[in-house]
Amino acid sequence: MKNWINFPRVEGEASRQAHADFPANTYEREMSKEGFFGPATHFYHRHPPTGWSNFEGPLRPHAFDSTRMAHSGNSPWDHKPILQNSGSLVALWTCREAMDHLVRNADGDQLLFVHNGSGDLYCDFGHLHIRDGDYIMLPRGTLWRLEPAEPLELLMVEATGSHFQLPEKGLVGPHAIFDPAMLDVPTMDGKFHAQQTEDEWQVKVKARQQLSVITYPFNPLDAAGWKGDNLAVRINWRDIRPLMSHRYHLPPSAHTTFVARGFVVCTFAPRPIESDPGALKVPFFHNNDDFDELIFYHRGDFFSRDNIHPGMLTLHPMGFTHGPHPKALEAGARHARKETDEVAVMLDSRTPWNILPDAHAVELPEYVDSWKTK
């Protein structure tokens, strides 16, 4: 139990309600602990907190355009690693042809997000048809392979040394955001049984971030059945029902889909925009001093960003104030839009990520200037 130094005070011109009814001609900035869960102070500034004229050094925000990447190989271990730290590995991979081998991640649970494409997943638990917008969570140690019907463009997130779980949903109850009954599991159907041949198969196992190859004189996806609750599961963003408030802009943590040790995965899905005249209509300026923030843009027009297209990623390292771009802030003030049409995956990591060479190769250095007013 944390015993925070916690006795709220007010000084000068301030709003009594966070994210609403600001003093005239001010911009709110949140400085908080533990992401959005700990003590917080809201400052009301005369200028946008992102109104810098120059920004140098390792804290500069980053943007990467994954559509510029050229993928090759028919194994997920041919992926393009983007970010890595002791608790996670974030990578991108396009599967263009049926995998001729099986893989197993012995380093941690594997989360796949299908950005584009469709096809079939075969794993220890059976067969699952997959499509764009699917999250597929494969427990550590699962054998699996893909057969794409069209190229499968994947965001791959590894919970290194840990596990993906569902978030605690608190007052709204376990059926909010999505009911656990919406989670699909693979089935041992005809397609699964048809691939249980006596042909030679290889399994490429990733352990300690190194590969080992195990050869079998048969297909080891030969289970006749299973029971238990350590499962491969699938949920599509279309099945997610975002929490909403017409009078209060909810923090990103309200959109958490999965949690792992040291990081969370959130899903931004289409929702109505706040309608109360005094409520903030875009994400609030915040320091986020405890987490690195990565967003992968999947679909639509991201309402707090400018010049961002599907397939891009942005990384805001912990330690500097960030928030909406000027055009988004202006549109929010005018209540120009009534709903969002964005779909994006956000990862917040307590441990800073290392940016890997494949990411630097597609970085857009001008992104840091996108907060400047023209």
Architecture of domain 71-162+179-237: Sandwich (2.60)
Measured CA to CA, the distance from residue 121 to residue 208 in angstroms comes to 25
Cβ contacts of 319 within 8 Å, gap of 6 or more? 59, 287, 289
Tell me which long-range contacts 304-310 makes (C-beta under 8 A, separation of at least 24).
304/328, 305/370, 306/370, 307/370, 308/63, 309/67, 310/115
* Residues catalogued as catalytic: 249
Per-residue CA distances from 25 to 45, 79, 155, 276, 279 (Å):
8, 48, 41, 18, 15
Measured CA to CA, the distance from residue 114 to residue 259 in angstroms comes to 19
DSSP E strands: which ranges in the chain? 27-32, 40-45, 62-65, 80-85, 88-95, 102-105, 108-123, 126-131, 134-138, 143-160, 201-207, 210-216, 233-236, 256-260, 263-268, 285-286, 292-299, 312-316, 343-349, 354-355
User: Which pLDDT does position 259 carry in this prediction?
Assistant: 98
Cα-based angle 295, 267, 120 (whole degrees, multiple of 5): 100
Q: For every residue of 133-199, which 3-state class applies, written as one string?
A: CEEEEECCCCEEEEEEEEEEEEEEEEEECCCCECCCCHHHCCCCECCHHHCECCECCHHHHHCCCCC
184 annotated ligand binder = no
**pLDDT tens for the 374 residues of the chain, in order:** 678 888 889 999 999 999 999 999 999 999 998 888 888 999 999 999 999 999 999 999 999 999 999 999 999 999 999 999 999 999 999 999 999 999 999 999 999 999 999 999 999 999 999 999 999 999 999 999 999 999 999 999 999 999 999 999 999 999 999 999 999 999 999 999 999 999 999 999 999 999 999 999 999 999 999 999 999 999 999 999 999 999 999 998 999 999 999 999 999 999 999 999 999 998 899 987 899 999 999 999 886 677 899 999 999 999 999 998 888 888 777 887 889 989 999 999 999 999 999 999 999 999 999 998 76
Measured CA to CA, the distance from residue 114 to residue 134 in angstroms comes to 5
Measured CA to CA, the distance from residue 13 to residue 350 in angstroms comes to 33
User: Which pLDDT does position 288 carry in this prediction?
Assistant: 79
246 annotated ligand binder = no
Whether the Cβ atoms of residue 142 and residue 124 lie closer than 8 Å to each other: yes
286 annotated ligand binder = yes
All structural domains of the chain with their residue ranges? 71-162+179-237
